[in-house]
Structure 1
Amino acid sequence: MPSRKKTTMFASAFCTCVSSFVLICVVLATQQWVSSDVLFSRTNTSITISLDYGLFRGTCEQFVEAGLQVSKQTFQVADSLSSTNTRSTNVAIIVILVLSLLTSLLSSGFTCTNAVSNPYQTFLGPIGVYTWNSICGILVLMAMILFPVNVETHGLSEELARGCSTSLQSHIRSQHSYGYSYWIMLLVLFLNIASLIIIYFYDHARYSKKKEQERPIENAPKDVILF
């Protein structure tokens, strides 16, 4: 049976891994990734398209310069994308997040296994936890980088806005504000780092204790040497 200290520390890491798994599910399920106001010119007037969307769906509203507001529409992101860059990047982000979800689940399983058993010398031990947590963190970081690239560089909001209205002419400017669905990924990164730190401190303490037990007897304190 594992020691109480080992059980406590791996149980703590298990909680952070499960929290990471739940938050990635929230990131995929919610659509508050970004809010954009995209201004276009149209014959004799200008029109602003206000969008709120995520990886799968979103809503848009039209505001004409004169103050006229068109009713809110719901759209599917995949159906509104025609550019190869925006479509492929959006699919890549979804795949990356699904992979991070799987690695987070594996990390949760490994920490749970370590909390109730003693697989010290196998990949099921701390090495496995390090591996899956690191992969999960890297994948989430990639998703955090790719999404702004798709919005800012590939013009994702502008492309979605054109699908919400007809007769739009030249694009004038865009303003973007990233929502809680996007920033939750930052919390996922912190949770993965916390898991790694917990396991590192446990592994380091165990290594130090092992080295202490292996000291030559001549280095031991004289008052504990028995003849």
Structure 2
Amino acid sequence: MTALSVGFMGWGMSTGWARTTMECTTAGTSFFNGTAMITWKLFEGVLSRSFCPSFGAKDVDFQVVPRLIEIDGAVPVALHTLVLCLLALCLLFSAGSILIGIYNSVSNPYETYMGPMGIYVCSSLSTIQSVLVLIIFAVNVNVTNMAEGLVENYADGVAFETRNKSSELLLGYFLIIPYVVLSLSAILVIYFYEHAAYKQRQEQQRPTEDAPKEIMMY
């Protein structure tokens, strides 16, 4: 389950996470000029402008973090960097969960490394951090001025204003949800396995505990 969750996250990290659209107006007026659309991935993006702010249509590829640094968006840069760091930690703890499981499955059955607690800790941290990723990225796209600052950065000094911004989340964002579900499922599988093993050990001990005193002495 953990290996499958890593596959979902890897797929999500390679595709689009959000799309933001907005209208452009001449500064100080309500005159409609055109539209701008930004497709966000984790590491790169595409800005498509149509008469925003100048005439013509242009598509520009950009690197997300370097471009956000250029537009002096301290909060968007910090939030986006935090998302990347949390995703890296999710992959790290998922790898730890897989390695612990593999090691314990081939090692001496009486000597396990961290036991089920290792799976609990790694999978729990992965789940918590991936949920934080979903929250932080949605806030960064919908609440901050990250998209407006990016469009203004490509305006070449032309004065204009943006309005009617709207954002939609794409496949890459939603692929984190299966990662969360599978990480939780890994915890539940280990928990029920340990519960069943404990119950079986208790049942095996019962005949000895209930045996007559003569048999126990013998």
Is 1:204 the counterpart of 2:191? The answer is no
Is 1:156 the counterpart of 2:146? The answer is yes
Corresponding pairs, count: 204
**Equivalents in 2 of 1:102, 1:191: separation in Å?**
16
Residue 160 of structure 2 aligns to a residue in which SS? coil
Match 2:3 to one of 18, 29, 34? 18
| Structure 1 residues 23-67: Cα deviation after superposition (integer angstroms, max 9, x where no partner) | 323333x240101111221254322111111221111111239xx
Residue 49 of structure 1 aligns to a residue in which SS? strand
| Structure 1 residues 62-93: Cα deviation after superposition (integer angstroms, max 9, x where no partner) | 1239xx65131111112221211001111111
Q: TM (normalized to structure 2)?
A: 0.83
Alpha-carbon spacing, 1:71–1:120, altered in 2? closer, same or farther (3 Å): farther
Alpha-carbon spacing, 1:218–1:26, altered in 2? closer, same or farther (3 Å): closer
Partner of 2:162: 171
| Contact preservation (8 Å) 1:34, 1:53 | yes
What stretches of structure 1 of length at least 5 have no aligned partner? 1-15, 221-226
| Contact preservation (8 Å) 1:36, 1:51 | yes
Q: Which moved more, 1:37-46 or 1:203-212?
A: 37-46
Partner of 1:186: 177
Q: Which amino acid aligns with 2:61?
A: T
Is 1:50 the counterpart of 2:37? The answer is yes
Partner of 1:35: 19
Deviation at 1:100, TM superposition (A): 0.7
Q: Considering only aligned residues, what root-mean-square deviation do their CA atoms show, in Å?
A: 2.4
What stretches of structure 2 of length at least 5 have no aligned partner? 212-217
| Contact preservation (8 Å) 1:24, 1:188 | yes
> What is the percentage of aligned positions where both structures have the same residue?
25
Partner of 2:137: 147
| Structure 1 residues 7-32: Cα deviation after superposition (integer angstroms, max 9, x where no partner) | xxxxxxxxx1112222323333x240
| Structure 1 residues 85-121: Cα deviation after superposition (integer angstroms, max 9, x where no partner) | 0011111111111111100101111111233235566
